[in-house]
Structure 1
Amino acid sequence: MERDHTKLFVLDTNVLLHEPLAIYSFKEHDVVVPMTVLEELDSIKDRKRDVSRDARVAIRTLEDTLGGNITPEQLVQGVELPVRPGHEDAIGRLSIFPDHQIDFTIGSLSGDNNDNLIINSTLHLQQLHAPRSVVLVTKDINMRLKAKGAGIELVEDYRRDQIIDDVRFLTKGFHQFSGTFWKGVDKIDTERQGRKTVHQIPLGEVEVEAEALYVNQFLLDEETEFCGRVIAKDSDHLTIQDLNRERLMTQEAWGIRPKSVYQGMALQALLDPDIDLVILTGPAGCGKTLLAMAAALELVVERNKYDKIIVTRNTPEIAESIGFLPGTEEEKMGPWLAGITDTLEVLHKNDVNPTGSMNYIMEKANIQYKSINFMRGRSIQNSVVLLDECQNLTASQLKTMITRMGEGTKLVCCGNLAQIDSNYLTPVTSGLTYIVERFKDFDGSANIYLNGVVRSRLAEFAEEHL
């Protein structure tokens, strides 16, 4: 593997768990997997967690790449990566480094844990292949710090699948103009399409880069209180539906009216039958779940657009486990979906008999609590599906959920990127971030960041100062 014009990437275990096909992500460069990484994958593959599946896929990928007829010498020296559809640019070599056979010299970290063994392997390869660049790739922040302190010159995070580098730049679903939206707009073609007022404007006259505009993006301004939604864009013109901010704020779903223009935009998207996917993001207490449930009840019970409501979420534990939960699937999901029950209580708190109203509505709207673990293989028809707390899902898990949606089904994804409980996700690698960016050009989806906390002044203060 003496190729001075290319780099040598040493992969940590968490890289292969995060992306089992990561060995194909380094183009013409070579990849080394220490033996310690194989041992960690072996210990993880039989666990009863989502990560065990990724470990098995990574192991099969390594076996398929290295083949069954390879000699031990070839395994260490490296073999060329086979051509794989979608990864035609991966022309480097893959090798397994037998770190258990190396007597590491003075200056290495103590070999009392696997992280230290991988760092020592990288140090050894850095000395062996100098002046060739040897890079340790790991998603463990502390390990990157230890590696730098131990003397590894190049240490990187695995960013192949990151769409954005900073969550602050995540698409919010709306663009707010300073001053007036109409400034500089000379040519405008307005027409009525049923109950809609639609404006067609030359793209060059809008004071924002064309790349920053996309279908179903909301447009706001400060002076005229204009509010519109992009319904079409081509190389020359931008077509906008005028929503009328006053009418937007007087919308109602199951007795709930928006408290801010951001909630108004969210409710407009939730009630629009042409939008199949609505993504709601924002801080705790901004009204994501309340708006989603109110809109779902309105669409199912009042408007008869759908047959039922399915509520689901994944089930990470924030503190110590309280053990197994008794009962049926829906009874087991009860504690996890208590936020939905709280929302139903809020929606019916003014009724004469709130408990009776809740029970009646749950039966009338056919509200079902389902575990995300049993969604694979299903095809959900004519339903409103609420996927709550989806900041804890990976991109592949969200893909599994979205591909379950059949004809006549509306999916609402809610999440707060500041409340990730998964050990393997960060705000920029969360599946929620992934779908926000990937679906922003899809005319059947809308994304709204709900700015501001409306739950209580206590929640608002905590969100701003803690």
Structure 2
Amino acid sequence: MARRKTKEKKIYVLDTNILLHEPFAFLNFQEHDVVIPMTVLEELDHIKDRNKDVSRDARVAIRALEDVLKDASPDQMLQGVALPRSGEQKPGGHLFIINDHHITDEIPGLPGGENDHLIINTALYLQRERSPLKVILVTKDINMRLKAKGAGLKLVEDYRTDQLIDDVRFLYKGYYKFPGDFWSQVGECRSENEGRETFHYVNRSVLPNAYINEYLIDEVEGFAGKVTAITDKEIRILDFGYERLMHRHAWGIHPKNIYQAMAMQALLDPHMDLVILTGPAGCGKTLIALAAALELVIEKGMYDKVIVTRNTPEIAESIGFLPGTEEEKMAPWLAAITDSLEVLHKTDEHPHASVNYIMEKANIQFKSVNFMRGRSIQNAIVILDECQNLSAAQLKTIITRCGEGTKLICSGNLSQIDSNYLTAVTSGLTYIVERFKNFEGSTTINLNGVVRSRLASFAEANL
């Protein structure tokens, strides 16, 4: 590898799981050099033919690497192939492919032929040969990071390019609660009536960190509103009225707390293309989303159908082993939806017949995330349940499927992540909450509080 002149340049060695997590990750290291050990290419080659969702990411990563390296000669690959910066024309760092199988004989690295050890040994070799440049191993495998440090590697990191916050406690909640009384905080303000709506114009200094469509409430339960416009000097707030907001309902469901009320208002608002619901198990995310969907499709006729989807366990595992059609295969994973339908119609004379009738009337379709790629969904409500287990790239794939007149409802609980490679701060759910908080067509609500039962509430707080 040719030695670079600049001392600021760093060398990043990527583990296989980085390219599976984000196939284009090697383009995101700005002006720094990126090293892909041969062992990583071999692992991608083995994974690409598996009947799993992750194999698709392996194929995308291989094609992305090939696009950069296809015109390079062997000598150029040894010297490094220039990488274009993502979204920019000017070049970034350089991409290297290193044959790491001989390195074990040259350094006192980790023993054996395990793939993780070969990748760690590559980083150790570069750390010795390219000193004083910083060599950083990037992997999402916690145990691999521990082994690398124990073997003497100075710098080991998780992949943080898609990590927008450092602590999930700072995640945007979608609302701001004023201490005490709202009006005592605001003081004098200008108010205007537009038809049946009342708007207040308050000084920007009252809420300097406000976001569009952010809900505003207070501790005395006397005010409820939403930020509808932001300028350099003032904020325009739509006044809902606390009691009026609490009395909204959808498909016979009334909110049990102010958080459900805010969520219901966002779900029923035709101007909101994306509604993100976060919160603990039992806070009512799925039930409210489904009730609002039925209200909009059947009662108001604003949409043609309801599409319900979620990732199947273990990173969108294939559903092929289950018998029947796609919808029959998805039924076990979407039992939460059918449970919610039964709750909505439990007082009917024939609940089972009512559920079947409503599913047909609302044209409710169960779809697998695996089959959402390539589709263009028009004039529908899409409910994406349990999306905390999806990566940012997977969520982008689904969101970009939504065409004209489609409303997307994403819900999830960041404390129930099943993926081996995702945490609360790297989940796709966290990513879209932060990315869309300035988008005028989206709303985020954190449903604070468990309403399922006192048992569920105690378990959420103490287990």
Preserved contact between residue 25 and residue 90 of structure 1 (Cα < 8 Å): no
Q: How far has the Cα of 1:453 moved from its partner?
A: 0.7
Secondary structure class of the residue paired with 2:182:
coil
1:27-48 deviations in Å (ceiling 9; x for gaps): 2322221111111111112222
Note closer, same or farther for the CA distance 1:35–1:190 as it changes in structure 2 (3 Å cut).
Answer: same
Q: How does 1:189-204 map to 2 (within 5 A)?
A: 189-204=190-205
Q: Within 1, Cα distance between the matches of 2:315 and 2:211? A: 37
Residue in 2 aligned with 1:453?
A: 450
Secondary structure class of the residue paired with 1:92:
strand
Amino acid at match of 1:75: M
Q: Within 2, Cα distance between the matches of 1:156 and 1:102? A: 22
Preserved contact between residue 24 and residue 90 of structure 1 (Cα < 8 Å): no
1:154-211 deviations in Å (ceiling 9; x for gaps): 111111121212222111100111122223534412122222221111212x1x3x2x
Q: How does 1:102-251 map to 2 (within 5 A)?
A: 102-104=103-105, 107-204=108-205, 206=206, 208=207, 210=208, 212-223=209-220, 225-251=222-248
Amino acid at match of 1:237: E
Q: Within 2, Cα distance between the matches of 1:354 and 1:270? A: 25
Q: 1:54 aligns with which of 54, 57, 61?
A: 57
Secondary structure class of the residue paired with 2:169:
helix
Q: How does 1:45-84 map to 2 (within 5 A)?
A: 45-71=48-74, 73-76=75-78, 78-83=79-84
1:4-39 deviations in Å (ceiling 9; x for gaps): 602222111112222222222222322221111111
Amino acid at match of 1:35: M
Residue in 1 aligned with 2:310?
A: 313
Residue in 2 aligned with 1:431?
A: 428
Preserved contact between residue 221 and residue 242 of structure 2 (Cα < 8 Å): no
Q: How far has the Cα of 1:106 moved from its partner?
A: 6.8
1:102-133 deviations in Å (ceiling 9; x for gaps): 34357421123111111112112212222322
Residue in 2 aligned with 1:413?
A: 410
Secondary structure class of the residue paired with 2:97:
strand
Residue 37 in 1 paired to residue 34 in 2? Answer: no
Q: Within 2, Cα distance between the matches of 1:304 and 1:69? A: 57
Note closer, same or farther for the CA distance 1:168–1:185 as it changes in structure 2 (3 Å cut).
Answer: closer
Preserved contact between residue 402 and residue 408 of structure 2 (Cα < 8 Å): yes
Amino acid at match of 2:182: F
Q: 2:297 aligns with which of 300, 303, 309?
A: 300
Preserved contact between residue 9 and residue 32 of structure 1 (Cα < 8 Å): yes
Note closer, same or farther for the CA distance 1:322–1:257 as it changes in structure 2 (3 Å cut).
Answer: same
Q: How far has the Cα of 1:247 moved from its partner?
A: 1.3
Q: How far has the Cα of 1:388 moved from its partner?
A: 0.9
Residue in 2 aligned with 1:27?
A: 30
Note closer, same or farther for the CA distance 1:21–1:383 as it changes in structure 2 (3 Å cut).
Answer: closer
Q: Within 1, Cα distance between the matches of 2:112 and 2:155? A: 21
Note closer, same or farther for the CA distance 1:321–1:446 as it changes in structure 2 (3 Å cut).
Answer: closer
Amino acid at match of 1:313: R
Q: How far has the Cα of 1:319 moved from its partner?
A: 13
1:273-313 deviations in Å (ceiling 9; x for gaps): 22121111111110000001111111222222222222111
1:41-76 deviations in Å (ceiling 9; x for gaps): 1111222223222222222333332334512x4433
Q: 2:366 aligns with which of 364, 369, 379?
A: 369
Amino acid at match of 2:59: R
Secondary structure class of the residue paired with 1:451:
coil
Note closer, same or farther for the CA distance 1:257–1:143 as it changes in structure 2 (3 Å cut).
Answer: same
Preserved contact between residue 53 and residue 317 of structure 2 (Cα < 8 Å): no
Residue in 1 aligned with 2:15?
A: 12
Note closer, same or farther for the CA distance 1:443–1:322 as it changes in structure 2 (3 Å cut).
Answer: closer
Preserved contact between residue 26 and residue 90 of structure 1 (Cα < 8 Å): no
Q: How far has the Cα of 1:384 moved from its partner?
A: 1.8
Note closer, same or farther for the CA distance 1:386–1:148 as it changes in structure 2 (3 Å cut).
Answer: same
Preserved contact between residue 316 and residue 369 of structure 2 (Cα < 8 Å): no
Q: Within 1, Cα distance between the matches of 2:61 and 2:348? A: 55
Preserved contact between residue 24 and residue 87 of structure 1 (Cα < 8 Å): no
Residue in 2 aligned with 1:262?
A: 259
Q: How far has the Cα of 1:101 moved from its partner?
A: 2.0
Residue in 2 aligned with 1:274?
A: 271
Preserved contact between residue 393 and residue 431 of structure 1 (Cα < 8 Å): yes
Q: 1:325 aligns with which of 322, 326, 349?
A: 322
Residue 401 in 1 paired to residue 402 in 2? Answer: no
Fraction of identical pairs, as percent:
65
Aligned residues: 460
Preserved contact between residue 27 and residue 89 of structure 1 (Cα < 8 Å): no
Secondary structure class of the residue paired with 2:176:
strand
Note closer, same or farther for the CA distance 1:122–1:406 as it changes in structure 2 (3 Å cut).
Answer: closer
Note closer, same or farther for the CA distance 1:216–1:365 as it changes in structure 2 (3 Å cut).
Answer: same
Q: Which moved more, 1:422-431 or 1:239-248?
A: 422-431
RMSD of the alignment, in Å? 2.2
Q: Within 1, Cα distance between the matches of 2:190 and 2:317? A: 61
Preserved contact between residue 51 and residue 318 of structure 2 (Cα < 8 Å): no
1:245-278 deviations in Å (ceiling 9; x for gaps): 1111111111111111101100111111221211
Structure 2 unaligned regions, length at least 5: none
Residue in 2 aligned with 1:288?
A: 285
Q: How far has the Cα of 1:82 moved from its partner?
A: 4.3
